[in-house]
């Protein structure tokens, strides 16, 4: 091979290498920045085929998909100074590739560490404003929304990261306070039960007193009505007796005597000791008129 041919071959290889290094591709799932001697000259390079100056320009690519930060469990205090163990995670993605590269050198581990510190601080701040009941169930959605908004605002400003969502996986009590919490819950439930029993007894006494009062009123009214009816009956009977006595006094006296005989000798064992000349036996001695 002649020198000219060798030179042409080497030149061709060099041109191929330079041409190969003059183009780069950014995928749809990536974010990229173009560096020139380590300085960012083009931020947020769009997906597609691009040109660069070989050995002068350098391209740094980052994962542009939604990423997960799984923060380690932290011990936090609520508004009433109750300790809880909180396990949370955050969903984030790169929003500004240039700022992300400047703040983290393009390393996900550095971004996770800094974002985790901000997440723990945000959780501590929000938990410190709320009671245990509020962070567990009462205001959990509001808590997550506040943490996400504050963390996203900080992350975009400092790290070029968009925080899409923050969620709390579990909220547990420290093991050393389990027994005291359970005992306090049991005592509170016992106190509530005692209050309910006392209110029940109070209501029962009121119901019994009202029932007794109504009973006395009903009995008194019934006795009054009975006496009135009895009095009306006695008056009517007396009137009938008086009319009957006025029509035939002798027959009325005879009828009353027969009734007295019937009531006096109702049983075979009945005995009556009287003077034979007593007026009681008048109709027995002289049954005629």
Whether residues 108 and 155 fall in one domain: yes
**Residue 161 within any structural domain of the chain:** yes
Domain termination site, one of 62, 77, 98 = 62
Q: What is the pLDDT of residue 91?
A: 92
Whether residues 75 and 155 fall in one domain: yes
3 state DSSP class of 58: strand
Question: Is residue 64 very low, low, confident or very high in pLDDT (cuts 50, 70, 90)?
Answer: confident
3 state DSSP class of 244: helix
Whether residues 84 and 134 fall in one domain: yes
Please report, for residues 34, 38, 93, 235, the alpha-carbon distance to residue 172 in angstroms, rounded to integers and kept in the order given: 46, 47, 29, 87
- pTM reported for the whole predicted model: 0.53
Domain count within the chain: 4
CB proximity list for 80: less than 8 A, separation 6 or greater: 131, 132
**Residue 179 within any structural domain of the chain:** no
82-94, pLDDT tens digit by residue? 888 888 899 999 8
DSSP β-bridge partners for residue 25:
49
**Residue 186 within any structural domain of the chain:** no
154/156 Cα distance (integer angstroms): 6
CB proximity list for 263: less than 8 A, separation 6 or greater: none
Torsion of CA 252, 253, 259, 262, to 10 degrees: -140
**Residue 183 within any structural domain of the chain:** no
Whether residues 72 and 58 fall in one domain: no
What is the token pair recorded at 237? 């009977």
Whether residues 200 and 223 fall in one domain: yes
The residue range of the domain holding 277 is: 248-289
Whether residues 201 and 167 fall in one domain: no
**Residue 196 within any structural domain of the chain:** yes
15 compared with 234, residue with greater pLDDT: 234
**Residue 185 within any structural domain of the chain:** no
How, if at all, do strands 30-36 and 39-45 pair?
antiparallel
238/252 Cα distance (integer angstroms): 13
What is the token pair recorded at 233? 């009956």
Please report, for residues 78, 86, 138, 181, 242, the alpha-carbon distance to residue 184 in angstroms, rounded to integers and kept in the order given: 17, 22, 20, 5, 85
Whether residues 106 and 156 fall in one domain: yes
Whether residues 142 and 237 fall in one domain: no
**Residue 236 within any structural domain of the chain:** yes
Say which CATH number the domain at 164 has.
Answer: 3.30.479.30
Please report, for residues 111, 163, 164, 223, 274, the alpha-carbon distance to residue 66 in angstroms, rounded to integers and kept in the order given: 14, 9, 9, 89, 125
Q: What is the pLDDT of residue 187?
A: 86
Whether residues 242 and 255 fall in one domain: no
Q: Tell me which residue has tokens 């049983």.
A: 267
278/287 Cα distance (integer angstroms): 15
**Residue 187 within any structural domain of the chain:** no
Q: What percent of the chain has pLDDT over 90?
A: 12
Instruction: Decide if pLDDT at 20 tops 60.
Output: no
In this prediction, residues 184-195 reach a mean pLDDT of 87
Whether residues 110 and 124 fall in one domain: yes
């Amino acid at each position: 091979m002649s020198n000219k041919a060798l030179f042409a071959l080497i030149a061709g290889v060099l041109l191929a290498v330079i041409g190969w290094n003059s183009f780069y591709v950014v995928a749809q799932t990536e974010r990229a920045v173009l560096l020139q001697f380590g300085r960012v000259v083009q931020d947020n390079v769009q997906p597609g085929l691009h040109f660069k100056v070989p050995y002068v320009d350098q391209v740094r690519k980052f994962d542009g998909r939604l990423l997960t930060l799984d923060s380690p469990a932290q011990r936090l205090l609520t508004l009433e100074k109750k300790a809880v163990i909180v396990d949370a995670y955050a969903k984030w993605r790169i929003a500004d590739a240039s700022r992300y590269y400047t703040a983290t050198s393009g390393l996900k581990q550095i971004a996770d560490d800094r974002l985790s510190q901000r997440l723990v601080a945000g959780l501590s701040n929000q938990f410190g404003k709320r009671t245990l009941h509020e962070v567990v169930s009462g205001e959990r959605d509001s808590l997550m929304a506040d943490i996400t908004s504050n963390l996203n605002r900080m992350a975009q400003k400092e790290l070029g990261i968009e925080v899409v969502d923050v969620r709390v996986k579990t909220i547990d009590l420290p093991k050393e306070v389990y027994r005291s919490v359970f005992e306090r819950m049991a005592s509170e439930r016992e106190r509530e039960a005692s209050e309910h029993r006392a209110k029940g007894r109070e209501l029962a006494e009121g119901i019994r007193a009202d029932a007794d009062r109504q009973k006395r009123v009903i009995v008194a009214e019934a006795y009054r009505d009975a006496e009135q009816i009895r009095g009306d009956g006695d008056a009517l009977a007396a009137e009938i007796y008086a009319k009957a006595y006025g029509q035939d006094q002798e027959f009325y006296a005879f009828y009353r005597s027969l009734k007295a005989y019937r009531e006096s000798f109702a049983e075979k064992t009945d005995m009556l000791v009287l003077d034979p000349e007593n007026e009681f036996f008048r109709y027995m001695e002289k049954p005629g008129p």
